[in-house]
Chains A and B, each alone.
Chain A
Amino acid sequence: MVEHGDIRVVHRGGSKINFREPVITNDSKFLLCASGECVKVFSTSTEECIHDLRGHTDLVTGVLLKPSNHLQVYSCSADGTVRLWDFIDGILIKTYVIGYPIYSIYASANHDGVIFIVTPTLGDKRSELFQLVAVHLPQCGDQLVEAQELSAVLSDVSSNPEAIAFGRGGEFIASAKGLQLECYFFKKQKSYRFYLKEDNKKGGKNTFMCIACHPKDDCVATGHEDGKIRLWRNLNHKKEYTYSTLHWHHSAVSSLRFTPEGTNLLSGGVESVLVQWRYNQESQRDFLPRLGAAITHIAVSPDGALFCTSHADNKITIIQSCVKVSAVIQGLVKGESVRSDLMVDPRSKALVLNGKPGHLQFYSLHRDKLLFNLDIVQQEYIHESGLQQFEVVKAAFDVSGNWLATVEERKQKAAELELNLKLWAFDEQTQSFVLNTTISAPHEARIAAMCFCHAADSRTTMLVSTSKDGQFKAWQLAAPAHTDADEGPSWSCDFVGAYHSLAPECCCFSADGSLLAVSFQEVVTVWSPDSWELLTTLSQPPGAIRDLCFGRLSCSKYLLGTTTKNQLCCWNLLTCSLEWSTSMDVSLLLTDPVSENMAAFCCQEGCTDLFVFKPSEPRPLFSHKAVCSGMVTHAVFAPREEMLESCEESSQWQNQSQLYFLTPYMDLMTFTTKAEEERLMASSKQLVIDDSVAMTPFYLLLGKHRQQQQEGNGDSASVLSAERTRLPQGSVAIKELLQTPAHVLPSTSFLCSMFIQSLLISVTDTREEKQDAEEEMESEKEEEDSEGEMDSSPLKLEQASLSPTAESAAPPLTKAQVRELRRVKKLDHSWLSGLLDC
């Protein structure tokens, strides 16, 4: 067995964006949210992810704008560090090492140089007790600083970040845990505690869920488990404190926020309704209903213009002034289980799995973005527990992505199972799937497996479904009956097969579509789909077949099966005999659609190991012990957009496609090599931009061009935008035309010639541009270090004098500093070149 250190398992994509409260920046342009091990920066207007702030090595547990500098942001993580970022450029400014896992972070403008974090009580790390600690951030220039000055403020706080909040101007901090509210006044260094009874007479649970402090008044709002909101006042009195109660929510209030002016209070909970209460006029409230899923966090922009809510279905909604949903940032929807397998849509290369109830979600792994949801069930989902509703349980794509088959089922308590098989055709015009055929009750019992015929060249497409009722059925696209000619072709049953009244389990088509293998408990039957003739049976008792896969490409003569009795068998279909078998408990076997490789996840002692092998030889190409704890039941090979050129034997299997799998805790993981990670870092470096304009695709198309114009004449060789073509709008004539006020403009006839001339000039420009672009293409292949050399020619001189010094000074500098230095250099260009031109 070969182990390789440079391939590691990473969280890739689809991580939670609703884990912690998002942060809206001061200018309301960006939204920052913790997502797995990085902080994502989204544009609030376009919903695009602009860049990731990478650096933490464990889950990011909090994001917070630095109170003294609104262009910098703190992030804290369970890895025990607090990092300070410049979020516009995505630069890590400082790392403060705390040394204890951090669960949330707070700061206030009143406490300069101090942040407040929640860590486990220092005595023992395993304990469930948390404390609020003030950290004095040392003021020194180093990048990596160890913060040693810690002082406990409150002991026994909740680890829920919603349960602690700073009061008016940071004068006090309020923390709620269980049935106790505690307010600590910093000036007096005195804390007041208020207790509630466990439940009131009507049985409402009084447990505190969340807390918010009014920005101007000494008023603390708390949300409770029974849906009540209490507004506490007179907090500096042991006895004469008072509170008023607001009640709209029917179940627990999960988040509360005051608007920055303190005029409104926002609350949200399971009802997925954002409620806006007028402060001091609580009988007046506004609702924003139908937000889709339970609200977990609410955030308000510093100017109060934008609200944003995080939802339980991994979604962030941006709301303009509590009336209009202006943007929805949707992450990968993860329920408790994935009933449909993971699939890859052959067209969009998107990961397809269960999403919202009754939907299939298409998730782009490369862009880490939800593309769209396909409504399969087409019925209104009722938000109520205990209701039996239609669920998508199976889905399959044909090889070209033209057809999608889905199975939905509903199990009423006593009544029969309701099953629907739906076939969806891809519509080129609308670029989405359109329902073609609905087959109600395709089988009498639950459908166990479903697959399309793989053959790409076959004229007719075929779908085979196996069911617990002892039959497998082949469905074929057939021309419509003569009577209604206006309808297109639809699907109908072509063949019903059975074998010794055993229940079929798995089915699989060979790569060329000439063979169909269906497993009936421990027997594998091989059929010819053309004649529906039983060709042969293979069996390797004991143990029923769990998974069945045909080999591909050069290994297409092999059929692999795994059994429940810890066997992995490989049959040669030419000889109809067992080629090899090995004893391992394979929980999941899958084939790479673009290579011969197969992956087997083996469950051993509570952990899952991965083996990648070729069916032709029983020796694994790659193995990885303990990829995660628990059993992996869902995985998929996703083809890469661009091939990797790894020549290492152990990572070659990753060149064409990437293996993604879901852990039992619904984390989407993948394998990555060191080289790939470096490439990723480099690409994120490229995205560093100088101005504060949002890095949207639109900006990449047009905005960058403007910058180039400013940099000087056409000979500038920017590092970026090799494939971008320069457009003529930037020329002086057109600028004049557009910027001069209309009443002072000369006549149109005069302008016309100017305009046409400008167009002529631009033609030569573009030619030069092309040359430049070619140069760039070449230069890009060079080493990263030569980046500095690629600057504009008027600056060559200065550059030459500067870069050697930078190079010579390089060893003591860290990479990030060098990057920073380069950025500074680039900033200077415009005015320097102007001087030189004179």
Chain B
Amino acid sequence: MGEFKVHRVRFFDYMPSAIQAMAFNRRSDRLAVVRADGALEIFNFADNYFQEKLIPGQDGRAVEAVCWVGQRLFSAGLNGEITEYDLENLRPKYTMEAYGGPIWTISSNSQGTLLAVGCEDGTVKMFEILEDRIQFQRNLDRQKGRIISLSWHPSGTMIAAGMIDMIRIFDADTGHATHRLLVERGVGASKSREVVVWSVAFLSDHTVVSGDSAGKVQMWDGLTGTLVRTHLVTKWDVLALAVSQDESSLIAGTSEGTVIQFQFISSTVGQQDKEWVRTRTFKNHSHDVRALAHTETAVVSGGMDTQLVVRPLLDKVEKNTQESALRKIAFPHRSLVCCAKKAGLLLFQFPDHLELWRLGESDGHGKPGDILPVKRKPEKLIQLKRKGEDHICCSALSPCGGWLAYATVSSVRLYRLQFNNNNISITKVSKLPKILHSAHQLCFSSDSSKLFASSSHSSVIVVALSQSECKYLHTLKPKTGSRQPVHLLLCSEDGKWLATANTGCEIHVYNLHKLKVNCHFSIHVIS
């Protein structure tokens, strides 16, 4: 081992953003998480909870709800638009105005044919899901007051909508409301405050479960429209509900940061009549639990404290295994820091700006383990605000410190940094090759002469950089023809090799001299 100088970098003021909504795809074991800044993350639960994909957010896109339809992912937000995502190119595929004001919720039927959205104006709008787009089909009976939450009956014939002070059950075929369930307000001072049904769940036995702002979890009979049980679980709001696939367990997230489990169990041994009984309480969050997902073996929760918590249900997993451990996903999976070793510079990536810092220096020669006196404090050289609405998805700093590049969903920008004494000048490289319009990952070669940008279908664009111009050299394409995006990109120190890894579990190594694939590895995950 050599001798290292360790810098304490305490000036990266990284601020994760709150989890707003989540959806779990049982077929592919993927969890889609939407954060308050509009960023969408996809975690692979089959593969050690790895964050596979990240679609950066956009200014003005406040996503309220997210929903899987097969392998397709839809989201809707307060901007009144429904968005489908292109999970291969990590960008919104298209957006569609619903014309109902802000959208609070989105839900698809289990057959995957219809998408229902709940709008501010009190309409539930049905969209038909076509091969490559969605098409407005019709409105259900319009109600007074906004639709906060929606849940389809598994058969697809009924839909429950949570509103202010009430729940409505619609016949999905006729579009008429069949029941109107009045939700009681809270007691005492909150009596005058209207109660918001934050979440509903329609079970296959026609039980409607609701969670509301008076802290109640209520079980209703969806056929007769009568209240079956009320569980007062908190003094504040019940914000989210999630049901396990076999409908034997239900979880409710509250604004106290607790997740409360209910189980459908028979009260006496050996009898068939079961009822919902409140059982466990999990407290892993410090703030509101906004989003919940119930997997086979675990309770997944996220909320204002930005952590994603995977709490295994100990009765469903083997004891003392890797699965039985509590997981908190708090750190970003992507590298947000880029280091120019020779120049002693650090580049920090934030959703809406970049920061360039010079590391501190010291002249002291100390023994190993000593704290050296700092001669020059670390200083912020540049704060670079991004252009456009889209958030920064990746950035890179060349090892020499002379180049800086970042990319958003829609554009790639390259800057030339020049240092003379204490003056720094930054100039944007205006003419970039046309092909370089978006990138999932950026990387400079070790001699800072080339910029690599991963593009669609796992291809890598190679651009030569020189003082005067930047020139497109080549596009490296994998032979496998994978369509998955590249999420890791690394150039070897001698500048001969370039390695890429994509979410399809493939690693490609390219020979940069011959500009062709040297070899590839592929790991198949058995799922």
User: Residues on A close to B: CB < 8 A?
Assistant: 168, 171-172, 185, 216-219, 233-237, 239-245, 280-284
Contact = CB atoms under 8 A, between A and B. Distances in A.
Given A281-B232, A284-B232, A242 B268 contact: no
B278 interface: yes
Given A233-B277, A243-B279, A216 B232 contact: no
Given A239-B315, A283-B232, A244 B277 contact: yes
A283 B186 CA distance: 14
Contact of B281 (A168, A216, A244): A244
B238 to A, nearest CB: 12
Contacts of A240: 315
Contact of B231 (A235, A239, A281): A281
A102 B21 CA distance: 61
Contact of A168 (B230, B268, B279, B280): B268
B417 to A, nearest CB: 49
Given A218-B269, A233-B267, A236-B270, 13 more contacts: A216-B268, A219-B267, A233-B263, A233-B277, A234-B263, A239-B315, A240-B315, A242-B279, A245-B280, A280-B278, A281-B231, A283-B233, A284-B232
Contacts of A236: 269-270
A776 B268 CA distance: 63
B282 to A, nearest CB: 11
A185 B229 CA distance: 30
Given A244-B277, A244-B280, A245-B281, A216 B267 contact: yes
A235 B280 CA distance: 15
Contact of A241 (B231, B233, B277, B315): B315
Contacts, number: 54
12 contacts: A171-B269, A217-B267, A218-B266, A233-B277, A237-B315, A242-B261, A242-B265, A242-B279, A242-B315, A243-B279, A244-B281, A280-B229
A185 B265 CA distance: 18
Contacts of B278: 244, 280, 282
The 5 A-B residue pairs with the shortest CB-CB distance, nearest first, are A217-B267, A244-B279, A242-B279, A283-B232, A240-B315
Contacts of A237: 315
Interface in B195-227: none
B228 to A, nearest CB: 12
Nearest to A167: B269
A235 B269 contact: yes
A236 to B, nearest CB: 5
Contacts of B280: 242-245
A279 to B, nearest CB: 10
A336 to B, nearest CB: 39
A99 to B, nearest CB: 35
A815 B268 CA distance: 50
A280 B232 CA distance: 10
A756 to B, nearest CB: 65
Interface of B: 229-233, 261, 263, 265-270, 277-281, 315
A240 B248 CA distance: 11
A54 B459 CA distance: 96
A171 B266 CA distance: 15
A236 B279 CA distance: 16
Contacts of A245: 280-281
B444 to A, nearest CB: 46
A217 B271 CA distance: 11
Contacts of B261: 242
Contacts of A281: 230-232
A581 B230 CA distance: 83
Contacts of A283: 231-233
Given A244-B281, A280-B277, A218 B267 contact: yes
B401 to A, nearest CB: 47
B113 to A, nearest CB: 35
Nearest to A172: B269
**Residue from the set A171, A241, A283 with the largest chain B CB neighbour count within 10 Å:** A283
B173 to A, nearest CB: 37
A217 B275 CA distance: 11
Contacts of B279: 233, 242-244
Contacts of A244: 277-281
A590 to B, nearest CB: 61
Contacts of A242: 261, 263, 265, 279-280, 315
A172 B270 CA distance: 13
Nearest to A171: B269
A588 B297 CA distance: 72
Given A283-B233, A284-B232, A217 B268 contact: yes
A347 to B, nearest CB: 55
Given A244-B277, A245-B281, A282-B278, A218 B268 contact: yes
A194 B281 CA distance: 19
A254 to B, nearest CB: 24
A189 to B, nearest CB: 14
Contacts of B229: 280
A219 B279 CA distance: 11
Nearest to B234: A283
A283 B278 CA distance: 11
A217 B231 CA distance: 18
Contact of A234 (B231, B233, B265, B281): B265
A233 B265 contact: yes
A240 B280 CA distance: 13
A692 B281 CA distance: 51
Contacts of A217: 267-268
Contacts of B233: 283
Nearest to A169: B268
A234 to B, nearest CB: 5
Nearest to B216: A283
Nearest to B277: A233
Nearest to A219: B267
Contacts of B232: 281, 283-284
A284 B263 CA distance: 20
A217 B263 CA distance: 15
B163 to A, nearest CB: 25
**Residue from the set A171, A216, A218, A236 with the largest chain B CB neighbour count within 10 Å:** A218
A767 B72 CA distance: 108
A218 B263 CA distance: 14
B245 to A, nearest CB: 16
Contacts of B263: 233-234, 242
**Residue from the set B233, B267, B269, B278 with the largest chain A CB neighbour count within 10 Å:** B269
Nearest to A233: B265
A33 B124 CA distance: 67
Contacts of A243: 279-280
Contacts of A280: 229, 231, 277-278
A244 B277 CA distance: 9
A363 B313 CA distance: 58
Nearest to A282: B278
